[in-house]
Amino acid sequence: MCGNRFFPQALEWIGDVASVQACDFLTRWPTLAALQRARPRTVRQFYRAHNCRKADVIEARLAAMADARALTTDAAVVEPFSLSVQAYATQLRVLMAAIATFDDRIAAQFAEHGDHDVFTSFPGAGAVCAPRLAAAFGTDRSRWDSAAALQAHAGIAPVTDRSGKSVRVHHRLACSKFVKQTFHEFADQSIRFSRWARAYYDQQRVRGNSHHAALRALAYKWIRILFRCWQQRRPYDAATYIAALRRRSSPLAKTLA
């Protein structure tokens, strides 16, 4: 962001960069000098109009704004960069509106999807991951012969390279990045809502696996469950899966007792 080169303090005051508040802030006050010329009352009204109503936060920002010093006052730097910031803010608002339109359309289409109840039943899937999971699986039940086929296609199944006496296991690189990211992000969300998923993730971390390696291992297990539910058109039931873990005397089941 070019603002770092002449107005870095803005990043502390605009809120989420990809927000209407940020766009409006930078359009109205593209430089520190412009902001410091504004009345405190005007800035307070701005924040309140954008649903920032914590008085202590607003007052702390106002104090910081008053004490801030410009990184540079060189007009050759400030003027072109401030114009660029305003242009980017305008473009970002258009992009955010387009994304919102896509989100609304996806939500409407997914609400009528034949597997809607299947994918929304998974813990952590939510409004974002559930439609992506549905897109990753598709509606043709003959597309995948097994969960293993989908695990390989998604890049979640590990790859083993053998050369002479050496063996190297690594994650798959040649795969659909969208599908891989879908399962990876769903696994990340699931540990917040599923007891066994959290326990399995923690187990992987204790074994020395990195955060992302643990998520790939968890996604590997989730694909098997997702595949079965998808094939049978049956929503996920956590109690059923945990009962199965206990019947198999899985070490994971002991951590859930």
Give the pLDDT band of residue 180 (cuts 50, 70, 90): very high
Among 79, 108, 137, residue at a domain's last position: 108
Asked if 125 and 229 sit in the same domain, the reply is yes
Digit-coded pLDDT (tens) for 82-133: 999 999 999 999 999 999 999 999 999 999 999 999 999 999 999 999 999 9
Cβ neighbourhood burial of 189 (10 Å; 0-12, 13-18, 19+): middle
Asked if 131 and 251 sit in the same domain, the reply is yes
Q: Which range of residues forms the domain containing residue 20?
A: 2-108
Asked if 184 and 208 sit in the same domain, the reply is yes
What 3-state DSSP class applies to 143? coil
Asked if 181 and 201 sit in the same domain, the reply is yes
Give the global pTM. 0.78
Asked if 198 and 145 sit in the same domain, the reply is yes
pLDDT over 80 (residue 240):
yes
Radius of gyration, alpha carbons of the chain: 25
Asked if 40 and 87 sit in the same domain, the reply is yes
Digit-coded pLDDT (tens) for 26-62: 999 999 999 999 999 999 999 999 999 899 999 999 9
Contact 217, 191 (CB under 8 A): no
Give the pLDDT band of residue 168 (cuts 50, 70, 90): low
Asked if 171 and 245 sit in the same domain, the reply is yes
- What does the pLDDT read at residue 253? 83
Asked if 152 and 96 sit in the same domain, the reply is no
pLDDT over 80 (residue 161):
no
Give the pLDDT band of residue 171 (cuts 50, 70, 90): low
Digit-coded pLDDT (tens) for 183-233: 999 999 999 999 999 999 999 999 999 999 999 999 999 999 999 999 999
Asked if 72 and 150 sit in the same domain, the reply is no
Among 84, 108, 132, residue at a domain's last position: 108
Q: What angle do CA 22, 25, 29 make, to 5 degrees?
A: 140
pLDDT over 90 (residue 157):
no
Cα separation of 77 and 208, whole Å?
A: 48
Among 108, 134, 151, residue at a domain's last position: 108
Q: What angle do CA 50, 54, 59 make, to 5 degrees?
A: 100
Asked if 142 and 244 sit in the same domain, the reply is yes
- What does the pLDDT read at residue 206? 95
pLDDT over 90 (residue 169):
no
| Domains contained in the chain, number | 2
Asked if 180 and 227 sit in the same domain, the reply is yes
- What does the pLDDT read at residue 173? 72
> What is the rounded average pLDDT of the residues 149-157?
90
Asked if 83 and 145 sit in the same domain, the reply is no
Q: Which residue has the higher pLDDT, 211 or 176?
A: 211
Residue 239 CA neighbour count, 13 Å, CB half: 0
